Amino acid sequence: MDFQYYMPVRIVSGEDCVKKNARLFRELGEHVLVVTGKSSAKNGALEDAVFAFNLNGQKYTVFDRVPNNPTVACVEEGARIAAECHADCVVAIGGGSPMDAAKAIAMRARQAAPEGLFAHAITEDVLPMAHIPTTAGTGSEVTPYAIITNDEKQTKTSISAPSLFPVYAFLDAKYMACLPQNVTVNTALDALSHAVEGMLSVRANLITDALARESISLLWGEYDSLLKGEYSAQSRRNLLHGSVLAGMVIANTGTSPVHGMGYSLTYFHDVPHGRANGLLLPAFLKVCREKIPQRAEQIYSALGMDADTFSRKVSALLGRREEYSDRELQDFAARAAKNKNIKNCSAYFTQDDLLRVLRASLGDGTVL
Ligand code: NAP
Ligand code: FE
């Protein structure tokens, strides 16, 4: 089979990697715009980055107003601040929300986009970026995607271009030492979903499959830690590395209707992104097993368990499930059926199939 695999991000991993590789930030430019959330950089990551900037004699401005599920307004505010401080580069510190916002800000700082963020054809002209993840889930530090809330369409929309890949990703699991249990579980489920959805993609290939299998092994190997909420430094590293590998998968394969359906849970009910995927993934995989049994079995084999055990184990991590009216689930299925990642899945999901997954996950408890 012919395929291509592209990964331009230089990944720098290890304890204190930001301080030890401080000189790499110098290459990005003189004035750094740091993009982060309210508290997500206050785990030592901002301190380490500032140490690096000071060592390099770089100036910096901190924009710390990125909300969860970043909005167009926050991107515009960040781009305005980038212009005011004449930023030459962007350093993102945080979970997927600040990392995604940083990409859109780095783009808007250089491109006017008069037709609107979502309609704009992104060019190569984007401020250079370095990403420092403080959650282990989205893999945004190695993807060319920024997922931004789209109020006009009442969903979350991915903007994407090769120029949105960061130049550097700095991976230090010490920033996750105090990550709350719910965020740890939700983000691990997001990463697991990326690896599984990547294997279900029509663009899956030899390299993405190898990355996905290793990712699943690292992430699911930490199942007991996730269930107990007890993490050694090695567990934190495994979760971080599992999430980066999964990011390297979706950077090339894209995601599946799991993400397409999950966006409605987040947009309308504020369900955290990773939790939304975790709620839907086991039932989705069961319907895949009906349609593409061989591929589904390869995934269960990578997980090291059968379909029912996987469903039970994910449920134990999620706790009490949200429930929605059937009418709402029908609306979510109709929305997901229009999402472009329907075509990206090697099993074809009709609107009825999506509704079956939604009902089994969040409705009448239909057993698949
Ligand atoms: P997040 O929305 O970035 O963060 C969730 C919460 O965790 C926030 O309250 C954050 O605080 C807090 N937090 C982050 N790091 C922390 C730390 N080390 N210690 C304590 N608290 C910390 O969550 P996420 O799951 O990482 O990102 C989700 C977003 O990523 C969604 O918008 C999703 O659509 C997107 N996503 C993007 C990609 C991609 O390829 N680009 C892939 C999957 C998902 P603050 O409020 O201070 O930030
Ligand atoms: Fe995701």
* pLDDT mean over 251-271: 97
What pLDDT shows up at residue 105?
98
Average pLDDT value for the chain: 97
What pLDDT shows up at residue 283?
98
pLDDT of residue 51 exceeding 90: yes
- The pLDDT confidence band at residue 330, using thresholds 50, 70 and 90, is very high
pLDDT in tens, 157-197: 999 999 999 999 999 999 999 999 999 999 999 999 999 99
* pLDDT mean over 338-363: 95
Distance 131 CA to ligand 1 centre (A): 13
What pLDDT shows up at residue 40?
81
Ligand 1 atom showing the smallest separation from residue 38 Cα: 47
What pLDDT shows up at residue 360?
96
- Work out the number of other CB atoms within 10 angstroms of the CB of residue 148: 22
Percent of the chain with pLDDT over 90: 96
* pLDDT mean over 25-53: 96
Residue 142 CB contacts under 8 Å (≥ 6 apart), including other chains: 7, 9, 11, 165, 166, 169, 244, 247, 248, 251
Q: For ligand 1, say whether the CB of 252 is within 6 Å of any of its atoms.
A: no
- The β-bridge relationship of strands 129-133 and 10-13 is unpaired
Nearest CA to ligand 1 atom 32: 69
pLDDT in tens, 69-127: 999 999 999 999 999 999 999 999 999 999 999 999 999 999 999 999 999 999 999 99
Q: Do domains 10-176 and 181-362 have the same CATH topology?
A: no
* pLDDT mean over 287-316: 98
Q: For ligand 1, say whether the CB of 131 is within 6 Å of any of its atoms.
A: no
Q: For ligand 1, say whether the CB of 190 is within 6 Å of any of its atoms.
A: yes
What pLDDT shows up at residue 103?
98
Which ligand does the CA of 276 lie closest to?
2
* pLDDT mean over 63-67: 97
Report the C-alpha gap between 94 and 277 in whole angstroms. 20
Distance 143 CA to ligand 1 centre (A): 15
- The pLDDT confidence band at residue 265, using thresholds 50, 70 and 90, is very high
What pLDDT shows up at residue 365?
74
Percent of the chain with pLDDT over 70: 100
Nearest CA to ligand 1 atom 26: 95
Q: For ligand 1, say whether the CB of 273 is within 6 Å of any of its atoms.
A: yes
pLDDT of residue 364 exceeding 90: no
| For ligand 1, mutation pick of 39, 239, 240 (most atoms within 8 Å of CB) | 39
- The residues spanned by each domain of the chain are 10-176, 181-362
Distance 138 CA to ligand 2 centre (A): 5
Output the CATH code of domain 10-176: 3.40.50.1970
- Token pair listed for 343: 């075509």
Distance 29 CA to ligand 2 centre (A): 30
pLDDT in tens, 202-236: 999 999 999 999 999 999 999 999 999 999 999 99
Among the four given CATH numbers 1.20.1090.10, 3.30.43.10, 3.40.50.300, 3.40.50.2000, the one describing domain 181-362: 1.20.1090.10
Q: For ligand 1, say whether the CB of 255 is within 6 Å of any of its atoms.
A: no
Q: For ligand 1, say whether the CB of 341 is within 6 Å of any of its atoms.
A: no
Distance 360 CA to ligand 2 centre (A): 21
| For ligand 1, mutation pick of 74, 103, 132, 147 (most atoms within 8 Å of CB) | 147
- Token pair listed for 51: 């140490």
* pLDDT mean over 323-352: 95
Q: For ligand 1, say whether the CB of 69 is within 6 Å of any of its atoms.
A: yes
What pLDDT shows up at residue 91?
98
Cβ–Cβ < 8 Å for 159, 145: yes
